[in-house]
Structure formats: structure tokens, C-alpha cells
Structure 1
Amino acid sequence: MKELTKWLETNKITEIECITPDQTGIARGKIMPTDKFIAEKGIRLPESVLMQTTTGDYPDNEIYYRLLDPQDIDMELRPDEKAAFTVPWAQEPSAQIIHDCYDSMGNLMPLSSRAVLKNVLKLYEDKGWLAIVAPEVEFYLTKRCTDPDIPLEPPIGRSGRQESGRQSFSIDAANEFDPIIEDIYDWCEDMHLDIDTLIHEEGAAQLEFNFRHGEALRLADQVFIFKRTVREAALKHGIGATFMAKPISGEPGSSMHIHQSLTDAKSGANLFSNKDGSASNLFYNYIGGLQTYIPQMMPIFAPNVNSYRRYLPGANGNAPVNIEWGEDNRTVGLRVPKASPAARRVENRLPGADTNPYLTLAGNLLCGYLGMTQDLKPRKPVQYRMGGEADETVPWNLEAALDEMASSEVIRDALGTKFVDGFVATRWAEYEGFKRVISSWERQYLLATV
């Protein structure tokens, strides 16, 4: 705590948000004065927060009491000194510090999404490998709307007009939102978030920020904080920001593409390339692992019922509905960008922006790890434009995806049965809540006709 205490003093921090990501990626925790934080060196929270759904509900009693202590006991949260960030939008000097969750025996809580990623990274560490990732995060800016029955609209830009039509990579369209973009960049710089490129995506008022490549745990932390940053910047300017996978009907969905490569932990050499510059066996094994295990991991890459609205089989949607791979091919699910041997990597284009960054990175890296340790071979690369035909090996709806993950013994062995059961249970609980809501489509087309 010495370095962290010094950092708090240097930044004159008076208040601290002690946070940890739940399974959805929502920040849960407590806010306390700095002197109390330093004295207590951590906080306690009920372990049930790790089984909380987006709506604040919990799975049914049977699974809840099987996975959690029936007395709803506390877990211990310990701060990660390398995951301390300022809160630049706060009115007084504040910090947000990410914590890890431990049980009474000092073990990481298996239901913690951050613990899941740390456990996968330990597999890499034991092999002398270091996973390098670079997320690309898309989101929509929207006009403020407090009625969930009213469709979202683009906000008013600097010109006083709403954006319309397709504006992919338009500089002028991005400049419409300069005030909020400048705040995002300034705040990210203040927090030392490694954001790099900004582009205007295809949708109306849809933006994408790319992160510089780095170690997986630190990038997961940064994406977790970045989402909070964007929402706060939007609030400051009287508009909304959403990372929903498909927030607006007729507009493209929002993704979180993950670039990933493998390096030697000691030398830093890219293990996806041989010394002569050609692709290595580990590179092909990694892709083979993604193709083999993505179907069993889909609830991690697409965790909500809305997530699957991005995937439009047969409609040539902007999200891939396949797990083919190809070099410099944006129509496949697993793209290999054109790059030097030292920068050889694979990009998974399936995950949505609504995913938990810790679980998304853990899922990608676990698929690749299994491919490398099991010597799995990929399919032949695709050298043509893929159409909208859906890959039959992948579950393209939440119900099928949850069943697939729940029945996978390989995933249970790798991630732990308790996590798989808990994660699947929270997804089912949310889905059951969704099914209780009657949609406007049902009222419009069925009310007077069936």
C-alpha cells in the first residue's frame, strides 16, 4: 500500500470509489474518505454482488444457494495498486481503484470476472507466454431519452443538426461532437488510459476508440474505466452514450473487436512468427482454438438478448456470422490484419461492445490457449468475400448459446464449474426478465390481427 498511499497523497485525493466489476461489467463497490481507505486497506462486500444481474435481480433460489453461502456472507476486496485512476469528472479530487475479490481463506472468488481473467493469464505465465491485446470499442452517442419505449435518436451536433445517412470514417461527422470527444481524450490522458485512434463508425453518431496494444489485465481495466468515462462525458454535455450491441433498429451494431498476439515473456519476441518471418505453428493453433471453442464461449462474447441482434444471417449485416479466418479480410469473424512478422496478430470481430472486457479477453485467450496446447488446426483461410450465411457450428441466439456453454466439459474444466454455473444462471435470469416484457413489435403486428 506504500506506493498507492503516496499516489493518493500526491494527487491530494480526498474520496475513493472502491470498485470491482460484476459479471455484467457493472462497477460495484463503496465510496469512502481517503483516510478511512488507507486505515482499512480494503473493503468488504456481500459475495452475492457477483451474482447480481443488470436489473439488480438474482438467479432462482436453487442455484443462488448452491453457489453462495446461505448466510450471504462478506468477501474481502483488496485494492490493486496498479489499477488506481483519478476521477476527472468529480467535483473534488477523487480516485477510482479496482479491487480483487477474495474469500475468507485468501483465495480469489471464482465468480469474479477479474479473477477469471487472472486465472487464464496464469496459464500463459506457466508456459512462459505473454498475451498482448488491443481492443477496439464502439458506442453510440444519442439524444437524451428517459422513456424506454421511444426509439433512440442521434444527438444534435455542433452544426445544430442531427446526423443522418452513413458517415464511415468521416472527419467532419466526428468533428460534430468535438466538445465531448475532447473531454474523453482529456480525461483519458488524466487517467493514463492508452487510447489511440478515433474514427467515426458507420452508424449515425457512432464512434470507435482504439486502444494501444498491451498486457491483457491492464487493457481490461482500461476498457472498464473507459466505459464509465464515455458515459460521464455524455452526461456532462446533456446527451446519452450507450454500449448496447444493437441500440437502434436499422443501424449497425456496436462491437468490441479484440486484436491478440502471443509473445515470449522474456524476450518479447512475437511467437506467432518464425524467425524467417513466416507464420508459426502456434499462430495456426491459436486460430484453430478460436474456431473450435468460440461456439462454446458465445455467452461471453454476446451475453445479452440484445447482443444477438447484431448478427443478421442472410442480411449482409456489418457483424460477421461466421468463424472463418482470412488475411486482410473484414468479412470473416477472425481477421488477420496485414502486418509485419513482429506485429502478426488475429482479430476476433464477433464480440459486442456490451461484453464484460475481463470475460471477453479471458474467453479469447482461453480459446487460443486450448488451441495451442491441443495442437488444433484451423480451417483453410478464406480469400473471398463471405456472404450472410451463418456458420452452423455457432449458436446465434442466447438460449442456444447458454445451453452450449453449460454443457461444455472443456470450458467447465478451464473456467471452473462454479463460474460457469453462476454466469449462465445470471444470463438466464436476465433472459427470463426480458421474456416478461411485451414489445412494441408484438403490439403493432399481433394486437389486432391474430
Structure 2
Amino acid sequence: MNAPFDQLFTWLKDHKITEVECVVSDLTGIARGKIAPTNKFLQERGMRLPESVLLQTVTGDFVDDDIYYDLLDPADIDMVCKPVSDAVYVIPWAIEPTAIVIHDTFDKFGNPIELSPRNVLKKVLQLYTDKGWKPIVAPEMEFYLTQRCEDPDLPLKAPLGRSGRAESGRQSFSIDAANEFDPLFEDVYDWCELQGLDLDTLIHEDGPAQMEINFRHGDALDLADQITVFKRTLREAALKHNVTATFMAKPIGDEPGSAMHLHQSVVDIATGQPIFANADGSMSELFRQHIGGLQKYIPKVLPMFAPNVNSFRRFLPDTSAPVNVEWGEENRTVGLRVPTSGPESMRVENRLPGADANPYLAIAASLLCGYLGMVEQVEPSAAVEGRAYERRNLRLPITIEEALTQMEECTTVAEYLGAKFVRGYVAVKRAEHENFKRVISSWEREFLLLSV
């Protein structure tokens, strides 16, 4: 055994784990993999999966054959999946002692699989390492609790809380409204503590039974793993309490959407000191360039923040989500907010990613944009003071078709993330959108059936 696998072996034995869920993330963020008895897992030291699972859409379909066979071996060969020794988590809700082990993916020659979201994030982090930098992130996850509903044609409704009543009106930051679901969140916090997830605060957001859980700042790859596990943990806790938890970007019409806000900063590896602030506490030139890079390249990677047609409903007019890459200090109407902080905590909050985004890809895209700004020395626009919702100069694509075209045509994104990844990701999202366009909506039936 090698040292990392020795560490994993010891952890599984110490926790008396009898079953292992071996998982990788597909492009959507769905966990794909196999479930194995611990002894078999330790014997095989990983698993093999068809590489084609990485070109599977959220509906379970695949991209067109010409793209499929151009990006993948025609024989539909397996990729080699190796366990990550420090990405292992207990499953508290399982009947038998069970663990999730996240895997990295390689081809038969040991090269990282380009289509793997976790590998995409690792590629971006290596860019920082090569410059002597380490990014620090702090994600904020918004989500809705809803009544369970078997009919997808019916609108979602707020669930009943401990009082036996559903919320009415806006309950932003209400302690009482959050306490309506205390039993559920007690399970969430207990389970996350057992899993070693770095949760921080719980906040009631604007929408009915819309909540936000913040993560403590830390390593980008570790937090992407944690968000992946957290989303499943929350869903399981919700099911236990007979409600549904959803990370859809816009699950309820006329209510605010759900975001995955990303706070990001950078430290110097050699000194451990932040590089976004000068000695006097003012913003450093690198910080300004980081913001400039976000402004320049976010429109080119927007599908990694807004991956579904539903994602763009969050960007509709008169919503609380910014649809721009303006920046400003303590301004929630801009896409890039700089919170008030001391020099050691100088950071930018990217408010554009939706809660439905794959955490590996959203974090990778956000950090890449900032990195490119620093290496290209991109100057940002002037900071916005006051309301920015109506500003037009730095607005984003408003449809997924337009966003995918911009991503596909950006040679810089392909250079840094890999042409194969960009082509595969765009193809999957286009296949999903084609599937969506075949569905006749209730709006069409209501207003067109007897009127046209």
C-alpha cells in the first residue's frame, strides 16, 4: 500500500465501515459510481467506470453521436477511478456503516480525464500554485424547502413548519421562521459534524422556506468536495422530515432564486500573507486585476455558473439576482461585491453562480477568471455606487443559447480548461436544452390553447 491508501485503509477500519460508495461527479454534479463491500473496495483500490458517464445529460441522455465518438473512444472504454484519501465521509443516515469516497479519474496511461469536473478544478488550482499563490474560497449555499409533490406540472409550495402553518410574506433573516424547521436543521448540523463539513451560519433568505448555509473559508478543492456531499446530506435530512430540499436556481415563480455565492481571495504560499491588500489596508493592484479578470471572462464561462435553462430564470428583471459584472464595495446589486473587511480578509464575492451549478466547475471558472485578470493585468471598470440592476454596459447573456455560444467561441477558455472539456460541456448543455424545448409548458396550454 502507498501512504495515502494506508491512511484511507486505517480510516475505514477505525470507523468500522462495511460498505463504500465510490463516486465521481458528472458535469451536472450528479454522483456516479458503484457501491462495494469494504473488503472488495480495499482489494481493488478503486473502480472503473465508462468514460461516457461524463457526457451524460441531466435527463440521462447522451450527446449526438458525431460529438460522442469524436470525444470518446468508440469502444466506450473505462476510465480508471482512484480513491482520494482525504475525500472520505461517513453516511450518517445509512442503515449499515457506510462511507462516501470521492475518486479522481484517469485514462489507462495515468493521464487525468479532461472531462472530469474535479480534474478541471485541479487544473485551475495548479495555475495558482505555479505562480506561488493559493486561492481561498468561502461558498454560501441557498436552497428552498418545499412540500413533497409527485406531479412535476404542479407549482411547488412552502412546507408546513412546526407551527403547522406555511410561511407567508417575506421572512428575510427571521429567526422564528428558520426555527420552524429546527428538527431538520439539527439533523443537518449533527450529520455534517460527523462528516467533517465546515458549516458556519444558517440564515433565512427572502423566499418562503428559503435558507442559506455558509461554509467557513478554506481550500477550494476540499470545499467543492464538501458542497457535493452537503447537497446530498441536506436532501436526505429533508426526506427524513417529509419535505423536499431543492437547489434549483429558480424553483418558484415570483420568488427569489437560489445562488451559490463564492467569496474568493488569494494568499502567497511562501509567506502565507494575503495578496489582495496593501500594507496600508487598501486594495492591491493584483486585487483590482483579479476583479478585472472576473469582469472580462465571466461572460465567457457563464454556463458554468448558470448551467440550465432554469438558471436563467433567476436572472429575469425585477429579481434580487444581479445580471451584470459590475463591482462595488458593500453593494448587493452588482455581480462582484467587495465586502467591508480588514486587510487579511480582503476578498471579492462572486454573486452570479446559481445553487444548481456544479461546485467543482463554478469554483474553477470563478478562480480562472480572476487568475487571467492577474496574469493579463486587466484593469477593472470604475466601482459602482448605488443601484446597479439597470446598468447596461456590463450585462450578461440572458439566454443559455447565447451563453453557450460565447463559451464555445472563447479560445482563452479552451486553452486553459481544455478544448475537449469545453466542447463536451457545451454539447451536454445543448443536448439538455434541446430536450427542454420539446416539452410543452403549462403557460402555452393556458394562454394559447383557445386563443390562437
Counterpart selection for 1:97 from 98, 101, 109 = 101
Distance 1:391 1:83 in 2: 42
Distance 1:232 1:213 in 2: 25
Counterpart selection for 1:42 from 35, 42, 46 = 46
Structure 1 position 415 matched with structure 2 position 407? no
Deviations along 1:164-221, whole A, 9 cap, x unmatched? 1100000000000001110110000000100101000000000100000001000100
Counterpart selection for 2:231 from 227, 248, 254 = 227
**Correspondence for 1:364:** 366
**Correspondence for 1:186:** 190
**Correspondence for 2:276:** 272
1:48-447 counterparts in 2 under 5 A? 48-313=52-317, 315=318, 317-391=319-393, 393-447=395-449
Distance 2:405 2:393 in 1: 17
- Relative to 1, partners in 2 of residues 1:435 and 1:220: Cα closer, same or farther, differing over 3 Å? same
Distance 2:23 2:128 in 1: 26
C-alpha deviation, 1:267, in angstroms:
1.8
Segments of 4+ moved more than 4 angstroms: 389-393
C-alpha deviation, 1:276, in angstroms:
2.2
C-alpha deviation, 1:392, in angstroms:
5.4
Is residue 75–residue 101 contact of structure 1 (8 Å, CA) maintained in 2? yes
Deviations along 1:300-338, whole A, 9 cap, x unmatched? 01000000000123x2x1000111000111111100000
SS in 2 for 1:244: coil
SS in 1 for 2:226: helix
Is residue 261–residue 270 contact of structure 1 (8 Å, CA) maintained in 2? yes
Distance 1:108 1:331 in 2: 39
C-alpha deviation, 1:391, in angstroms:
4.9
SS in 2 for 1:247: coil
Gaps of 5+ in 2: none
Distance 1:415 1:287 in 2: 20
* TM-score, scaled to structure 1: 0.99
SS in 1 for 2:105: strand
Q: Which amino acid in 2 is paired with 1:396?
A: I
Q: Which amino acid in 2 is paired with 1:400?
A: E
Is residue 321–residue 391 contact of structure 1 (8 Å, CA) maintained in 2? no
Q: Which amino acid in 2 is paired with 1:350?
A: L
Is residue 337–residue 348 contact of structure 2 (8 Å, CA) maintained in 1? yes
Distance 1:394 1:240 in 2: 31
**Correspondence for 2:20:** 16
Structure 1 position 7 matched with structure 2 position 8? no
Is residue 130–residue 264 contact of structure 1 (8 Å, CA) maintained in 2? yes
C-alpha deviation, 1:377, in angstroms:
0.2
SS in 2 for 1:248: coil
Distance 1:62 1:380 in 2: 45
Distance 2:157 2:395 in 1: 36
Is residue 312–residue 388 contact of structure 1 (8 Å, CA) maintained in 2? no
C-alpha deviation, 1:390, in angstroms:
4.8
Is residue 320–residue 331 contact of structure 1 (8 Å, CA) maintained in 2? yes
C-alpha deviation, 1:266, in angstroms:
2.4
Is residue 323–residue 395 contact of structure 2 (8 Å, CA) maintained in 1? no
Is residue 224–residue 357 contact of structure 1 (8 Å, CA) maintained in 2? yes
Distance 2:308 2:216 in 1: 27
Is residue 141–residue 205 contact of structure 1 (8 Å, CA) maintained in 2? yes
Deviations along 1:218-275, whole A, 9 cap, x unmatched? 0100001100001000111111110000000111000000000010112211100112
Q: Which amino acid in 2 is paired with 1:384?
A: G
SS in 1 for 2:73: coil
Distance 2:197 2:187 in 1: 13
Deviations along 1:326-381, whole A, 9 cap, x unmatched? 01111111000000011000000011000000000000000001000000000000
Deviations along 1:112-134, whole A, 9 cap, x unmatched? 00000000000000001000000
C-alpha deviation, 1:387, in angstroms:
3.1
C-alpha deviation, 1:388, in angstroms:
3.5
C-alpha deviation, 1:55, in angstroms:
0.6
Is residue 136–residue 208 contact of structure 1 (8 Å, CA) maintained in 2? yes
Distance 2:409 2:330 in 1: 34
Q: Which amino acid in 2 is paired with 1:306?
A: N
C-alpha deviation, 1:292, in angstroms:
0.2
Structure 1 position 30 matched with structure 2 position 34? yes
Count of residue pairs the alignment pairs up: 448
Distance 1:122 1:18 in 2: 25
* TM-score, scaled to structure 2: 0.98
C-alpha deviation, 1:17, in angstroms:
0.3
- Relative to 1, partners in 2 of residues 1:414 and 1:344: Cα closer, same or farther, differing over 3 Å? same
Distance 1:388 1:318 in 2: 12
Is residue 142–residue 153 contact of structure 1 (8 Å, CA) maintained in 2? yes
Gaps of 5+ in 1: none
C-alpha deviation, 1:396, in angstroms:
1.3
SS in 1 for 2:236: helix
C-alpha deviation, 1:393, in angstroms:
4.9
Q: Which amino acid in 1 is paired with 2:139?
A: P
RMSD: 0.8
